[in-house]
Structure 1
Amino acid sequence: MAITKELSEMTIGAKLLQQIRGNIQLKKKTGSYAGLRHAMGLPVRGQNTRNNASTARKLNRLDRKGNV
């Protein structure tokens, strides 16, 4: 019973993805630096782009599967 109570209070699955997409859309709408990086498909959290930016281009899509 305690486990189901804890899980019911958490955001899991589709609700979590919807919340993440909403947060990214808000950043894009306000024109923040992170929102611009999301829009361009570049690393958002200060990673270098010289060698490994291809990973960020894959992950910064809105159709991302799984958790973030």
Structure 2
Amino acid sequence: MKDGRHIIWSNDIDYDDWREDLEEQYPDLTEAERMELMYELNSDYLDDERSNLDIQLSRPILVVGDLGL
């Protein structure tokens, strides 16, 4: 983050972060099939987030987060 950018979403994902959940939910799939599913799910999640950005609301949105500082 030396250039001051803050990445909210990325398609650069790590299978190790998804492995446990995918193996539990899809035990009959091969590792290659689970990896393909991981990319499909991540893409679907990104599309959902993009569609959420185009919603007009009658009130302001309050966002609360823990920055871990």
TM-score of the pair, normalised by structure 1: 0.33
Q: Which structure has the greater CA radius of gyration?
A: 2
Q: Which has the higher helix share?
A: 1
Higher relative contact order (CA 8 A, sep 6+): 2
